[in-house]
Structure 1
Amino acid sequence: MTFDFDAIIIGTGQAGTPLAASMAKNGLKVGIIEKSQVGGTCVNNGCTPTKAYVANARRAYIAKNSSDMGVKINGDVTIDLKQIKQRKEDIISESRSSIKEMLESNENITLINGKATFIDGNSIAVNNTTYTAEKIYINVGGRPRIPEGFNGVDYLTNETILQLEEIPEHLIVVGGGYIGLEFGQMFRRFGSKITILDRGSKLLKHEDDDMAQEIANIFKKEQIHIRLNSKCISAKKSGKGIEVNVDCAEGSPSITGSHLLLATGRIPNTSDLGLDKIGVDTDERGYIKVNNSLQTTLDNIWALGDCNGQGGFTHTSYNDFQIVNSHLFEEKKRFLSDRILCYAAFIDPPIARVGLNEEDIRRKGIKAKLAKKPMSEIARAKEKGETQGLLKIFVEEETNKFLGASFLGTGADEYVHTIIDMMYAGASYTALRDAVHIHPTVSELIPTMLEKLESIK
């Protein structure tokens, strides 16, 4: 059979785009399909725009809260959301243009605009045209999950909230995960009243209780109202605002705000690809099932990025590219099982995590030791006037190797890589304990912490 392309890639996200570039470099003819804007979630409505907003919000917070350090501002600090939005759009445009230029200028790559639907295992229809390839790579990403009970109300998602040009008077955030917390803190710093509702007993349900409580304390200090154990059952229009009905143990059964943000998770964009008719299996949530090299149940089709349920972050999506690329063109092969879980929530201060936490270790019955230090005891944090947070490191007793770390504090998203790198190296914790770090930094306390490990009972 003669194919139109050596490979077709569906989606121009953080796995699909570098894969197309690598294939083209190696002489393969590639068709890459995009139904929307190039760049995927990260560039268009994920990391790039939200972290730009986080930076704006931090500037506003510092401007309003520096008098205790002798920095006083005469007059009001005002927020121009239109200008903030434009700055975000400019950053996105630059990234998007760069990606598009690379794809369109490469003679081995054909950029195809439109929605893809499988006809069979080697054929895809786009805009009434059929394209064929020997191998197909799915990188379709995900979208916000909208729970039942919110039909008929003008809710916001992490995508549409970035289009606002006026600051909400009272933003109700449904969901206490990293998306809800980032936007909640961000818009509080822009000037909104914020109420965060979460059905669980703590924020960031996958973190240790002490970490979650520390985050709650930070948010409460910024006058962000948090209601836990809240099952949000419905919402309706109320005058010029939105009323959210809540089934909860404490507090009013309803809350009225000017705007509603649904931050209740994400789902993969797989339901309308036609996967069922060609034999590519998905799980009960719609994520495409993959093996250790990201191959699906059809041996000529692979799934990368958010749609395979194996990470959901830009860095895991890019690593998916690295895994697939290694099997195509590199001597050393990479595998999904090589990857160590790591991520950060970019609240301020950020929380960063690698590997297991204390609750994981207890649940698995692993004999381990813990090093723990509050940020309030760290000189660099005191000097910066940013003493909120907590550092925790976990070491396996039998092997002396790192099991993981949870860091909450100024710069945590950077110095967590100290532990990440040691874990990938498979090194004993003593190598880091005996290292000499630069003073004055937060990371210099990591070796000191490792001198005082205590068994987890």
Structure 2
Amino acid sequence: MSTYLHYDALILGSGQAGTPLASHLRSLNLSVCLVERAHIGGCCVNEGCTPTKTMVASGRMAYLVRRATEYGVHDGEGTPRITVAMQEVRERKKDIVDSFRGGGEKRLEAAGVVVEAGRRGSWGEERGGLRWGRGKKVVTAERVFVNVGCRPARPEVPGLDDIPLERVLDSTSIQELGEVPGHLVVVGGGYIGLEFAQLFRRLGADVSIIHRGPGLLSRNDDPELVQCMQRILEEDGIDIIFSATSTTFSNSPSSSAEEAHDLPIRVTTLSAGEKKDFHASHILLATGRVPNTSTLNLSSAGISTTSSGYIPTSPSLQTNIPGIYAMGDVKGGPAFTHVSYDDFRILKAHLAGETARTTEDRTGLVPSVVYTDPQFAHIGPKWGELPKGRGLVSYSMLKAVIDPSTNKIISFSAIAVEAGEIMAVVQMAMVGGLTWMAVRDAVFAHPSWAECLNNLWGGERKEI
């Protein structure tokens, strides 16, 4: 016999929108049930931003130590000799994740949020009801907020299913490796692929990227900056295979006896009509993410989804069913933590009666950063989305697009060590409606990264 529990709000998923929303609703004296199938904090804290950037810091440290003599720093033995203890890198990552997750758990507990484990949850016949476990507990609520996020996609690649599971990795499992791969093959040249490719190259692995497109990242990214990023990765020693129209994997160890144990995977690609064969130890699948909606039986509640499983919403994050909302990655669109958190802020405003606040407020001004070293940051319409014949461009390692009729900044891209921080300065100018001249003439502290913006506008300009 089922037990029925009723709350003012039911939140599915504790990501960067769900957790703060739960605490906020409790501050309004509303009863809240938060269902989480894995760990408090969602992807960002447990598998995304926090752990990956912690590991990126380890990779950068290894890179700097190897270059120590270039800065006049010696260990008494000539060129520094380093050993990467992958288990220690992993343990440091785990400790930081546990700390962040623990902070979220304490905040929810202090707020009085009821947290339930819902590994096998799905919608029941009751609209707004959720069942999990063996159907012994049913939760209903006045409002339901779906924040279940996404997971790594698994592409269909010939031979992939024949490779041992421990050697086929995604963006989560690769963080649990106990040793540096001998040769890592990264399938996909997007954000995730580039970050992990450079990280493991700097930790000591041989790395190859297999990308279907003719250039890294997306076709809308600025080609000059993409080429700059490509040169940086190639200088790190990463092999990049473009326009890979065909890729197959097989269990076929290297013919070299000393390498046979470490490189058991044969990789065959067809790129621009040229066949390439090489051996690898591990495969990282970095070809995108899919929403975690397939097990929720959303159709039972009448909730519409796209063919890919995403939940469309109105600008106020309302689904097609009154009282049921979707937020974060599961609704589609830019899959960034800062977007998820802004979804929470929109819902918070609507609960307070401030209905003017919507997702349309951030159209065109969602920043993105690829956390390679140096970083690749961008805000505004991408190069391939800009109307032709409008604006001026000034560029070196920085590029801005200007509307000549208003002198306001339309978009900005940067490749720099702290590109994300430089971008934030330009973002504030864009939010405030400042002209490019105002940024050019601002007096920034020296030395600082922001002062490069003084020089940006003095470079070459051209019509687009």
Alignment match, 2:206: 193
Q: In structure 2, how many angstroms separate the alpha carbons of the residues matched to 1:44 and 1:131? A: 26
Alignment match, 1:410: 417
Alignment match, 2:215: 202
Report the count of equivalent residues. 437
User: Does the alignment pair 1:151 with 2:161?
Assistant: yes
Q: 1:15 aligns with which of 8, 13, 17?
A: 17
Q: In structure 1, how many angstroms separate the alpha carbons of the residues matched to 2:295 and 2:431? A: 38
Q: In structure 1, how many angstroms separate the alpha carbons of the residues matched to 2:390 and 2:25? A: 45
Alignment match, 1:379: none
Q: In structure 2, how many angstroms separate the alpha carbons of the residues matched to 1:34 and 1:3? A: 16
Q: Kindly state the Cα deviation for residue 284 of structure 1 after the two structures are TM-superposed.
A: 2.1
CA contact (8 A) 1:232 1:244 kept: no
Amino acid at match of 1:140: V
Q: In structure 2, how many angstroms separate the alpha carbons of the residues matched to 1:453 and 1:27? A: 58
Question: Structure 1 length normalisation: TM-score?
Answer: 0.92
Q: In structure 2, how many angstroms separate the alpha carbons of the residues matched to 1:447 and 1:253? A: 46
Judged with a 3 Å threshold, the aligned counterparts in structure 2 of structure 1 residues 305 and 366 are, in CA distance, closer, same or farther, namely farther
| C-alpha distance after superposition, 1:70-95 (max 9, x if no partner) | 22343411111111100000001111
Alignment match, 2:238: 224
Between 205-214 and 317-326, the greater mean CA deviation after superposition: 205-214
Q: 1:113 aligns with which of 112, 117, 122?
A: 117
| C-alpha distance after superposition, 1:371-407 (max 9, x if no partner) | 212xxxxxxxxxxxxxxxx110111112221111010
Matches within 5 A, 1:430-445: 430-445=437-452
Q: 2:376 aligns with which of 336, 351, 371?
A: 351
CA contact (8 A) 1:43 1:92 kept: yes
RMSD: 1.7
Between 192-201 and 331-340, the greater mean CA deviation after superposition: 331-340
Amino acid at match of 2:293: T
Q: Kindly state the Cα deviation for residue 23 of structure 1 after the two structures are TM-superposed.
A: 0.3
Between 122-131 and 177-186, the greater mean CA deviation after superposition: 122-131
Give the 3-state SS of the residue equivalent to 1:151 in structure 2: helix
Alignment match, 1:377: none
Give the 3-state SS of the residue equivalent to 1:173 in structure 2: strand
Alignment match, 1:376: none
| C-alpha distance after superposition, 1:222-269 (max 9, x if no partner) | 111111111343322223422233222265433320111111111111
User: Does the alignment pair 1:393 with 2:397?
Assistant: no
Judged with a 3 Å threshold, the aligned counterparts in structure 2 of structure 1 residues 452 and 279 are, in CA distance, closer, same or farther, namely same
| C-alpha distance after superposition, 1:426-456 (max 9, x if no partner) | 2222322221111222321213323557342
Q: 2:342 aligns with which of 319, 332, 335?
A: 319
CA contact (8 A) 1:168 1:258 kept: yes
Matches within 5 A, 1:237-316: 237-239=251-253, 240=261, 241-249=264-272, 251-316=274-339
CA contact (8 A) 2:303 2:319 kept: yes
CA contact (8 A) 1:289 1:308 kept: yes
Q: Kindly state the Cα deviation for residue 419 of structure 1 after the two structures are TM-superposed.
A: 1.2
CA contact (8 A) 2:394 2:462 kept: no
Q: Kindly state the Cα deviation for residue 169 of structure 1 after the two structures are TM-superposed.
A: 0.5
Q: Kindly state the Cα deviation for residue 330 of structure 1 after the two structures are TM-superposed.
A: 5.8
Q: Kindly state the Cα deviation for residue 121 of structure 1 after the two structures are TM-superposed.
A: 2.6
Amino acid at match of 2:116: I
CA contact (8 A) 1:295 1:302 kept: yes
Judged with a 3 Å threshold, the aligned counterparts in structure 2 of structure 1 residues 421 and 216 are, in CA distance, closer, same or farther, namely same
Structure 1: tracts of 5 or more residues without a match: 374-389
Amino acid at match of 2:24: S
Between 335-344 and 55-64, the greater mean CA deviation after superposition: 335-344
Amino acid at match of 1:274: N
Q: In structure 2, how many angstroms separate the alpha carbons of the residues matched to 1:453 and 1:434? A: 18
Amino acid at match of 1:198: H
Between 443-452 and 166-175, the greater mean CA deviation after superposition: 443-452
Judged with a 3 Å threshold, the aligned counterparts in structure 2 of structure 1 residues 348 and 123 are, in CA distance, closer, same or farther, namely same
Q: In structure 2, how many angstroms separate the alpha carbons of the residues matched to 1:130 and 1:355? A: 44
Q: In structure 1, how many angstroms separate the alpha carbons of the residues matched to 2:22 and 2:14? A: 9
Give the 3-state SS of the residue equivalent to 2:227 in structure 1: helix
CA contact (8 A) 2:378 2:412 kept: yes
Q: In structure 2, how many angstroms separate the alpha carbons of the residues matched to 1:268 and 1:148? A: 17
Alignment match, 1:29: 31
Q: Kindly state the Cα deviation for residue 99 of structure 1 after the two structures are TM-superposed.
A: 1.2
Between 438-447 and 76-85, the greater mean CA deviation after superposition: 438-447
Q: Kindly state the Cα deviation for residue 104 of structure 1 after the two structures are TM-superposed.
A: 2.7
| C-alpha distance after superposition, 1:95-118 (max 9, x if no partner) | 1111112223333x1101113211
| C-alpha distance after superposition, 1:402-423 (max 9, x if no partner) | 1110100121111110111112
Q: In structure 2, how many angstroms separate the alpha carbons of the residues matched to 1:277 and 1:52? A: 41
Give the 3-state SS of the residue equivalent to 2:139 in structure 1: strand
Percent identical pairs in the alignment equals 35
Q: Kindly state the Cα deviation for residue 61 of structure 1 after the two structures are TM-superposed.
A: 0.2
CA contact (8 A) 2:200 2:207 kept: yes
Q: 2:453 aligns with which of 415, 433, 446?
A: 446
Matches within 5 A, 1:32-111: 32-73=34-75, 74=77, 75-107=80-112, 109-111=113-115
Q: In structure 2, how many angstroms separate the alpha carbons of the residues matched to 1:255 and 1:354? A: 38
Question: Structure 2 length normalisation: TM-score?
Answer: 0.90
CA contact (8 A) 1:281 1:288 kept: yes
Q: Kindly state the Cα deviation for residue 55 of structure 1 after the two structures are TM-superposed.
A: 0.3
Q: Kindly state the Cα deviation for residue 152 of structure 1 after the two structures are TM-superposed.
A: 3.0
